[in-house]
Amino acid sequence: MTNRRGRPRDPEADKAILQAALELFIEGGVEGTSIEQIAKRAGVGKLTVYRRWDSKEAVIAAAIEFARDEIPEPSPADYLDLPVTELVERALPGLAEAVADPRLRAMVARVFGSSVSHPELLASYWESYVAPRRRLARALLERAQADGTVAADADRDVLIDMMVGGMLFRLLQPEPLDATAARRYLESLYRAIGLLA
């Protein structure tokens, strides 16, 4: 993102631009998205977009990060009082809804599909979307190991890869999951890891 002087930025315009960029990226990938299309869909001028980002790739990368905010995740404060299994149980309904959302499935497919031609998008996706979830999962697993629900000598990175890999495999299958099936799958996955009783 470019940091330029001028009038104060309008948060509503930012949100509209990012939403438009995300929608266009999901619909047509990087090649099917342009600054002109983003501006038109967001209801702003092209100059408004260019004042914030230097390229369509930069806008799309920011839109991917913006999408992360729509996926629920526990607050770090939750770790202090709740057992891990209860924390995971509370997070399940929102996570299942997110996994069942066709926009997430389409976004993940588009990001992976763009990884060779636009590696900066995959890097942005990893940095702003995957890495924060890995840190959260690591904290949960550390707590679960301390509580004895996950083996103390288990490799946390391997367990995280199992969770993420399992979900990606499900997201990219031809038949999408609905929220009920997503919850059942998540329960089975987390139970196998030791994060649910």
Among the four given CATH numbers 1.10.260.30, 1.10.1040.10, 1.10.357.10, 3.40.1360.10, the one describing domain 72-193: 1.10.357.10
**What CATH number was assigned to the domain covering residues 11-66?**
1.10.10.60
Given the structure tokens 């709740």, which residue do they identify? Answer: 82
Contact 99, 171 (CB under 8 A): yes
Quick one: how far is CA 165 from the chain centroid?
A: 14
Between CA 108 and CA 12 the distance in angstroms is 25
> What residues does each domain of the chain span?
11-66, 72-193
| Residue 79, CA distances (Å) to 3, 140, 145 in order | 35, 8, 14
Q: Same fold for the domain at 11-66 and the one at 72-193?
A: no
Q: At what angle do helices 156-171 and 179-193 cross, to 10 degrees?
A: 160
**Mind listing the pLDDT tens digit for each residue in 110-138?**
988 888 888 888 887 788 778 888 888 89
Within 10 angstroms of residue 70's Cβ, the number of other Cβ atoms is: 13
**Mind listing the pLDDT tens digit for each residue in 70-105?**
665 655 555 567 888 888 898 889 889 888 888 888
**Mind listing the pLDDT tens digit for each residue in 5-59?**
445 567 789 999 999 999 999 999 999 999 999 999 999 999 999 999 988 888 9
